[in-house]
A and B are shown apart, each in its own frame.
Chain A
Amino acid sequence: MLLTLFGISIIIFALLRLVPGNIVDILFDSAGMVNPADKVRIEQELGLDKPLPMQYGRWIGGLLTGDLGYSYVSEKSTIDEIAPRIPVSARLASTALLFAVLIGVPLGVISAVRQNTWIDYLLRVVSLSGLSLPSFWLGLLVLMAFVATFGSIPIYTESPRTFGEAILLVVVPAATVGFRSSALIMRLTRSSMLEILRQDFVRTARAKGASAASVNYGHALRNALLPVVTVIGIEAAFLAGGLIVTETVFNIPGLARFLVESIRNRDYPIVQNLVMLIAVVVVTINFLVDMLYAALDPRIRYSD
């Protein structure tokens, strides 16, 4: 896990240094400065004149001691820029994941139990379209529906005044992101259920006269949910991608939209720390899911 994160840090650092123009050129152009001495001074201040291994060492050293450097653009410390945005994105992501599980698992079960009936076909087409609709388009359509019904677009506020507003500002964007994940979870639940329903112990349960509900939910579902737990870990990574476009569409001041802005501004300290943060979150979630998987299924042991 640590090795993975170390590798990621090298990749992120290397990728960002591939950029042809650096921040100084951009600052230089936008401020209308012409004096080359100013340019050298700015480069020195930002540490961009040092060799790359030293820049990397400074970054990693800072990561370990909590000194993440300063944003090139706002000149605030990276932590001050990133920290207040964490709860915004975390709330959106967790609501989206909750939505995805609450919708995806039951529909997947229904689809599997009623395999090859009209409802199964309908649900499969819906889930395939869930995987096909770009979430930013879905977001734009939702906003258009808002405009059509209320005449205005809800503007994100930190503390919504009414309960209804809170629902609108968090649940609606979350559902837009979570729709894709719910489709994936539904497909996986379905195929996993179908696989389990063909197994001997299910036939045995049926043969001894257990009711359909007891077989489907008591025996099959409990076993079918194991692979679904893994996919939730994988979805954590997909959600990060979904958040990027959704926060942009809904104008939510979260981490993902900030990442896009920082990339546009070539704000290295922000971009590299943000991407690193995303990687840490994804790796941690995957690690927890692996542990959970072992706890749920006693046959799996991570001994080596």
Chain B
Amino acid sequence: MSDRQYDAELTRAGAGADTVWTKATFYARQYPLGAIGAVIMIVFVATAIFADVVASFSPFSTNPAQSLARPGGMHWMGADVMGRDIFSRIVHGARISLAVGIGSTLVGGVFGVAIGIASGYIGGWFDLVVQRVTDIMQALPLLVLALVMSAALGPSLQNTIIAISIPLIPYVSRVIRANTLALREQAYVEAGHAIGLSEWRIAVRHILPNTLAPLIVISTAQLGSTILTEASLSFLGLGVPEPHPSWGRMLSESAAEYMRTAPWLVIFPGMAISLAVFGTNMLGDALRDILDPRQRG
């Protein structure tokens, strides 16, 4: 019998991974797809933050001489019919996508958590009413609801965020409610009652922090879908209005019209959407495995 390499096995299992870097490499080895997703997301966020530095042109500056310029040279992803640089528009479009993605996930998350905890913790008729309303909201497809909402509110960046966040609330509140119902039966909640804590304090200080893991999981999962919804809305002309360089918008009228003569108008913005959503999906999958092992698929 050979000696077992205890140290090596411990390291492989993640022991001694105390610094951020060793932790990161440990998780990256465990979840290679998640690591790829994380890298894509970091690039995506950095692009959005440093868009002004990364982009070589202003996303709005038009140049008739460069109309439908082929990729290469000055415009390495080509230019659109107004001579605007596609690469610069995609880089600035990352801001729009990220703003809508994070904005609507945040709004939907905050309301969803508040409603979910209240519904699960208070229970009774309040819970019943909330559940009914949630059922009703979920019977309408996300895109249909967002479409009607954004038409009702009018096209603007802010309204697009609201239109996408409303359909998210029932999804989030349902998950958080289920989690709250389970947490309510925990011994520490009973202990809290025993030492005379107020219901409010138990809900906010003891239940809320414990819903964080499922919240992170569902938020990352929803981030991709909000980015897709924004792209679809803008594609249909009911999302973020011109002149904002939204990826979905870039694919709408002009792209369909010039797809024969200028395929780069179709290819690059679509790649940007797909990559961003792919990144969030892979990261979301890995986060779910790490934070919520019961749901592991």
Given contacts A241-B144, A263-B148, contact A8 B259 (CB under 8 A): no
Query: How many residues from B make CB contacts under 8 Å with A?
Result: 47
Q: Is B4 among interface residues, defined by CB-CB distance under 8 A?
A: no
CB <8 Å contact, A263 and B273: no
Contact among B153, B154, B266 with A137 in the assembled complex (CB-CB below 8 Å): B266
Given contacts A7-B132, A140-B266, A249-B256, contact A134 B232 (CB under 8 A): yes
- Which one, B10-18, B80-88, B113-121, B277-285, is touching chain A? B277-285
Given contacts A134-B231, A140-B251, contact A8 B140 (CB under 8 A): yes
CB <8 Å contact, B256 and A194: no
User: For chain B residues 201-244, which have a beta carbon within 8 Å of chain A?
Assistant: 224, 228, 231-232, 235-238
Given contacts A11-B136, A16-B148, A240-B144, contact A140 B153 (CB under 8 A): no
By a CB distance below 8 angstroms, the chain B residues around A264 are 151, 237-238
A-B contact count (CB 8 A): 142
Q: Is B73 among interface residues, defined by CB-CB distance under 8 A?
A: no
Q: Within the assembled complex, what's the spacing in Å between the Cα atoms of A18 and B28? A: 48
Q: Within the assembled complex, what's the spacing in Å between the Cα atoms of A283 and B136? A: 9
- Which one, A78-86, A124-132, A157-165, is touching chain B? A124-132
Given contacts A194-B297, A260-B147, contact A129 B256 (CB under 8 A): no
How close is B140's CB to chain A, nearest CB, in angstroms? 6
Given contacts A15-B152, A140-B259, A144-B259, contact A275 B274 (CB under 8 A): no
Given contacts A133-B274, A141-B270, A282-B139, contact A260 B236 (CB under 8 A): yes
Q: Within the assembled complex, what's the spacing in Å between the Cα atoms of A12 and B267? A: 36
CB <8 Å contact, A241 and B141: yes
* Majority DSSP secondary structure for residues of B touching A: helix
Q: Within the assembled complex, what's the spacing in Å between the Cα atoms of A16 and B255? A: 30
CB <8 Å contact, A244 and B260: no
Q: Within the assembled complex, what's the spacing in Å between the Cα atoms of A244 and B248? A: 14
* Majority DSSP secondary structure for residues of A touching B: helix
Q: Is A191 among interface residues, defined by CB-CB distance under 8 A?
A: yes
User: For chain B residues 19-66, which have a beta carbon within 8 Å of chain A?
Assistant: 33
Q: Within the assembled complex, what's the spacing in Å between the Cα atoms of A131 and B138? A: 20
User: For chain A residues 175-211, which have a beta carbon within 8 Å of chain B?
Assistant: 187, 190-191, 194
CB <8 Å contact, B139 and A4: yes
Q: Within the assembled complex, what's the spacing in Å between the Cα atoms of A282 and B154? A: 27
How close is B82's CB to chain A, nearest CB, in angstroms? 20
CB <8 Å contact, B270 and A132: no
By a CB distance below 8 angstroms, the chain B residues around A11 are 136-137, 140
Q: Is B143 among interface residues, defined by CB-CB distance under 8 A?
A: yes
By a CB distance below 8 angstroms, the chain A residues around B231 are 134, 136
Query: How many residues from A make CB contacts under 8 Å with B?
Result: 51
How close is A4's CB to chain B, nearest CB, in angstroms? 5
CB <8 Å contact, A134 and B274: yes
By a CB distance below 8 angstroms, the chain B residues around A147 are 259-260
Look across to chain A and name the residue whose beta carbon is closest to the beta carbon of B136. Answer: A7
How close is B188's CB to chain A, nearest CB, in angstroms? 30
Q: Is B149 among interface residues, defined by CB-CB distance under 8 A?
A: yes
Q: Is A88 among interface residues, defined by CB-CB distance under 8 A?
A: no
How close is B160's CB to chain A, nearest CB, in angstroms? 14
Q: Is B123 among interface residues, defined by CB-CB distance under 8 A?
A: no
Look across to chain B and name the residue whose beta carbon is closest to the beta carbon of A234. Answer: B138
Q: Within the assembled complex, what's the spacing in Å between the Cα atoms of A20 and B153? A: 8
By a CB distance below 8 angstroms, the chain B residues around A238 are 141-142
**B interface footprint on A233-270 (CB within 8 Å = 1, 0 otherwise):** 00001101100110011000000000110011010000
Going nearest first, the 9 A-B pairs with the smallest beta carbon separation are A241-B143, A191-B297, A137-B270, A7-B136, A132-B278, A132-B277, A18-B152, A240-B141, A237-B141
Give 7 A-B contacts (CB < 8 Å), ordered by A residue: A15-B152, A19-B152, A128-B282, A133-B270, A134-B231, A134-B274, A190-B297
